[in-house]
Amino acid sequence: MRRAVRALCIAVAATAAIATGLAAPSLSPAGASTATATSRSQEWGAAEEQAFVDKINQLRASLGLPTLAVDPELAAQARVWSQTMKDAGNIFHSKALDAGISADWEKLGENVGVGDTVDALFDAFVNSPKHYENLVDPSFRFIGVGVVWDGGRMFTAHRFMALMPPAPAPTATNSRPSTTPRTAAPAEPAPDELAATEPPAAEPAAPSPPPPTVPPASPERVALILDTIDDLLD
């Protein structure tokens, strides 16, 4: 819905701005021959369409602006509108500049005019401030020009387009909180591994301390003991 509202506002703004200075009235020379008028009746002006594109791009290049690429859909719609104006016998602006456009556009513009030569009409566009804004708008990148002859005069419509800027690339973000790396504990051996594992060898027991050494009895003590034993025997 927002895309449709923006498109309507842009199209209306472009139409209102351009309509304040409709390009050049008919500029047919007074001495135009009837034969020329008859031969060009109901004729598409492919050569004139390319001549308009070349002149517009020369103007933009002289100002350091990017040149415009011809968009097939814009060109087709410009031709349709040129024929519509020719059939009406008058020049006026479309109220639906986005008709027939499938591109993801951001801005559209239109210049329309009627005259007898490319040079005369181009000069009229350049000298009209509102038409000139479309010619040198730095945001425009595409153009479509339609020309249809009606006798000795041409009806022409120029469509301009700027595309929507590309969406920014998504920035990768890690929503998970950072955690300190953990070291995995060693895996417990399987039961059969436990059974097959020999128990560690027992450490050798410490040697027993030697028995205490009894000092030998003195001779006097031995004699006393012997006397005592003899007395007991008597």
DSSP E strand stretches across the chain: 43-44, 69-70, 105-115, 142-150, 153-163
Band of pLDDT at residue 140, cut at 50, 70 and 90: very high
Residue 102: its pLDDT value, please? 96
In tens, the pLDDT along 158-191 reads 999 999 998 887 776 655 555 555 554 555 544 4
Alpha-carbon span 210 to 223, nearest angstrom: 30
pLDDT score of 138 more than 70: yes
Q: What is the mean pLDDT of the chain?
A: 73
In tens, the pLDDT along 103-123 reads 999 999 999 999 999 999 999
Determine the longest span between alpha carbons in the chain, in angstroms. 188
- Whole-model pTM? 0.59
Residue 199 parent element (H or E): none
CB of 29 within 8 A of CB of 130? no
Residue 10: its pLDDT value, please? 27
Alpha-carbon span 25 to 11, nearest angstrom: 24
Structure tokens at 28: 């047919």
User: DSSP letter string over 10-70?
Assistant: HHHHHHHHHHTT-B------TT--HHHHHHTTTEE-HHHHHHHHHHHHHHHHHTTPPPPEE
Alpha-carbon span 67 to 85, nearest angstrom: 27
